[in-house]
Amino acid sequence: KISFLNAATEANAKIGNYPFTTIEPNYGVTLFHTPCPCAKYGKTDACRPRYGKCVKGVRQIPIKMLDVAGLVPGASEGKGLGNQFLDDLRQADVLLHVIDASGMTNEKGEETVGYDPINDIQWLEDEIHSWIFNNLWKKWGNILRRHLATKSSAANTLQLQLSGYGTRIVQVQQTLDSVGVKEPSEMDKWDKDMLKKVVAAFMKVRFPTILLLNKVDVATSGGNISRICKKYADATIIPTSAMAECFLKKMRTMKMIAYADGDDDFLTHEDDASLDLVPLDDKIKRRLDNVKDLVMFRYGGTGVNNAIKAAVEAKKFIPVYPVKNFNSFTSGKDGGAFPVCILVPPETTVREFAGILHPDLEKHFLYAESPAGLRIGEDQILTYDNNVIKINAATGIAGE
């Protein structure tokens, strides 16, 4: 788990094969790769991101990652560091469940041999479900009384109770739609099983989970990977080797290989003598050959970059580029094109985006424009097709 954080973010968190290596959360910043509009509008050379970077028309957007305290069965009842883990969970948009596919770490985080990791997925889901369900069920009577007294909709009642998880009303409505709840909902007739069903649906909407099968380069991983993929055929599963990614990045820093994050191969001085690379000794060459054979060729890469991409896409975030000038695509005094990129949740309207940029822009909003000179209505949903935008406000024209 911590190895993955280090591989994805170049952090330097403490790694250990024993329970609760992570006591306090470890933070890091990774990069989400997506096509940058600078290529479409011929501004590749002028593109100057304030945060992250742009490499040959590929935008690399900073994403915060949080490695939280490990979870053990019974966490929802306070075992291990469960309460701390579950509280940290509230900050997350997406969960990356790092599973030791080699079977060398058991459910308590202890080093072992021959452990079957296939059940780790289910008990993690069960613990999160119990945490949310118990928080609702212990006060369900009071919730229903208030619901009936205020004649609220099911979505509004649940959103009030689930707001502590960073939940938007649209997410609650998606949850209810997925279980077939229509208004009037007759919430007062819901039994325990119905509430459990709603919580399970809520988890999929609020906390989508990507399964990362780590240590794919270990011989014992193959069988476990096949069985997990078969049992969880509908899940998003990414085979990964965090240690291989860490090693490749170290070799790159030492100028021993040419490697770009997410690539399925790398080059050495032996491959191309024109590259400014250090010749390899036999030991390093053998290690790199193993990474190439067991990870790169077999799985198409270390999987770390694919995991970040899958996490952002799981929530269907839209990258939006506010600008002030459609000739230069600048957005401020620094003069670079497309300096700002903000990831927004799906169904975000133009006016809501104005509020994300600055409350005054939403308050004094007049209209928005596209690079084609067309006006965009305040209620229009932002998508990849209209994600370069200029906001016009009553106090002047602003793009940020």
**Alpha carbon distance 38, 55 (integer Å):** 10
Q: What is the mean pLDDT of residues 39-50?
A: 95
User: pTM to 2 decimals?
Assistant: 0.86
**Alpha carbon distance 153, 144 (integer Å):** 11
Q: What is the mean pLDDT of residues 278-293?
A: 96
Peptide bond into 184 cis (omega under 30): yes
Q: Tens of pLDDT along 47-103?
A: 999 999 999 999 999 999 988 766 666 655 655 555 666 677 888 899 999 999 999
H or E element that contains 396: strand 396-398
Q: How far apart are the first and last CA of the chain?
A: 37
Highest mean pLDDT among 19-23, 108-112, 155-159, 362-366: 155-159
**Alpha carbon distance 378, 291 (integer Å):** 51
Task: Record the tokens describing residue 166, joined without a space.
Answer: 């960073």
**Alpha carbon distance 125, 232 (integer Å):** 13
User: In terms of pLDDT, which residue wins out, 87 or 302?
Assistant: 302
The number of CA neighbours under 13 Å toward the Cβ of 225 is 20
**Alpha carbon distance 347, 285 (integer Å):** 50
**Stretch among 111-115, 204-208, 220-224 having the lowest mean pLDDT:** 111-115
Residue 129 CA: distances (Å) to CA of 69, 181, 237, 341: 18, 19, 21, 34
The residue to which tokens 């997406």 are assigned: 94
Q: Tens of pLDDT along 333-389?
A: 778 999 999 999 988 999 999 999 999 999 999 999 999 999 999 999 999 999 999
Task: Record the tokens describing residue 247, joined without a space.
Answer: 């090693």
**Alpha carbon distance 190, 306 (integer Å):** 40
Q: What is the mean pLDDT of residues 297-318?
A: 95
The residue to which tokens 């994403």 are assigned: 63
Residue 185 has a pLDDT of: 87
**Alpha carbon distance 13, 244 (integer Å):** 16
Q: Which DSSP letter does residue 341 get?
A: -
Confidence of residue 288 (pLDDT cuts 50, 70, 90): very high
Average pLDDT, rounded, for the chain:
89
Q: Are 201 and 278 in contact (CB under 8 A)?
A: no
H or E element that contains 367: strand 365-369
What phi-psi label fits residue 99: left (phi over 0), alpha (psi between -120 and 50 degrees) or beta? beta
